């Protein structure tokens, strides 16, 4: 059986070969550990990449995602997390995050230095590196409520921002920040957090699970309170628009037990992840594929 790092490289090469046959595709740009930092690639890496397409073709690749499935590597779970792209699992457990851009959009995108796995001559090779621009230093410290903290392929943190707001491609659908979207983000944050933990990045893992994922879990509980039969008094229903945590114990009585089970701290990250998944499965319909991947990682400890 090939090493995971070889599987990841082969997957990018296979995807590049497949996309070369599509005349609407201009390039495949790998990012992070399959990009300009490929020396970091390890058994707990995932695939971060941008697909660069011709003007007017972006919406087609977002609507029809069959281009992501390959011979022997079928996509088994996918959801659109931004107006530009997806998070997904392949059948062999490889996790990927991607975005689809035109070349003009790529010039305005925020991303880590990349590596071309495939590029047509008409696409400027220099675009593998982000344009020189002043970066907001606060973006180096992700907000716990940031919807997409996995920043190698950061495009739009909140889907409500919309491709149109950034002057993006016409016809692109903006995913709704609904319960399904929140659940997908929570699961992907827990998974990425556990991968970070596996390579010794405990603080990052703690932040992904107890910060990013848990903040969205609070939002999910609030959004689904009525359908879960949670009755809230008028007094308790008043939310602080700047802090979802304020008075949440009054609005969501189960939150104390949830917090005690999930927020176990820096030294109990696998237990936190496992308990988090159990609580999600108890209250919501959780997709099997990401749940199995999270459970597999949390059981290693």
Contact criterion met (CB below 8 Å) for 150 and 192: yes
Length of the chain: 301
Give the C-alpha separation, 95 to 81, whole Å.
14
Contact criterion met (CB below 8 Å) for 284 and 183: yes
pLDDT tens series, the chain, 301 aa: 679 999 999 999 999 999 999 999 999 999 999 999 999 999 999 999 999 999 999 999 999 999 999 999 999 999 999 999 999 999 999 999 999 999 999 999 999 999 999 999 999 999 999 975 444 444 443 444 444 445 555 544 454 444 444 445 666 778 999 999 999 999 999 999 999 999 999 999 999 999 999 999 999 999 998 888 888 777 767 788 899 999 899 899 899 999 999 999 999 999 999 999 999 999 999 999 999 999 999 876 5
Q: Which residue has the tokens 């073709």?
A: 57
Read off the pTM.
Answer: 0.88
Q: Which residue has the tokens 């201009």?
A: 26
The Cα-based distances of 216 to 12, 210, 287 in angstroms read: 31, 10, 17
Domain 4-161 falls under CATH 3.30.460.10: yes
Domain ranges of the chain: 4-161, 179-298
């Amino acid at each position: 059986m090939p090493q995971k790092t070889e599987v990841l490289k082969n997957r990018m090469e296979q995807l590049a070969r497949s996309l070369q046959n599509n005349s609407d595709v201009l390039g495949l740009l790998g990012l992070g550990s399959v990009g300009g930092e490929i020396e970091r690639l390890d058994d707990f890496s995932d695939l971060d990449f941008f697909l660069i397409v011709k003007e007017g073709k972006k919406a087609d690749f977002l609507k029809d995602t069959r281009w992501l499935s390959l011979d022997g590597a079928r996509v088994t779970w996918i959801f659109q997390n931004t107006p530009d792209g997806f998070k997904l699992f392949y059948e062999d457990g490889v996790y990927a995050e991607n975005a689809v851009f035109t070349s003009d959009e790529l010039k305005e995108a925020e991303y880590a230095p990349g590596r071309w796995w495939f590029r047509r001559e008409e696409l400027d090779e220099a675009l593998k590196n982000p344009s020189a621009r002043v970066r907001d230093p606060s973006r180096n410290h992700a907000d716990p409520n940031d919807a997409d903290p996995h920043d190698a392929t950061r495009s739009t943190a909140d889907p409500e921002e919309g491709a149109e707001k950034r002057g993006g491609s016409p016809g692109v659908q903006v995913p709704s920040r609904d319960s399904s979207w929140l659940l997908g983000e929570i699961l992907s944050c827990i998974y990425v957090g556990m991968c970070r933990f596996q390579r010794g990045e405990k603080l990052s893992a703690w932040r992904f699970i107890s910060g990013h994922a848990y903040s969205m879990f609070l939002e999910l509980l609030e959004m689904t309170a009525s359908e879960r039969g949670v009755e809230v008094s008028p007094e308790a229903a008043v939310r602080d628009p700047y802090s979802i945590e304020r008075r949440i114990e009054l609005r969501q009585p189960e939150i104390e037990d949830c917090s005690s089970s999930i927020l176990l701290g820096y030294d109990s990250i696998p237990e936190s992840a496992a308990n988090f998944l159990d609580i999600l499965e108890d209250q919501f319909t959780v997709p099997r594929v990401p749940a199995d991947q999270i459970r597999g990682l949390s059981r290693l400890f």
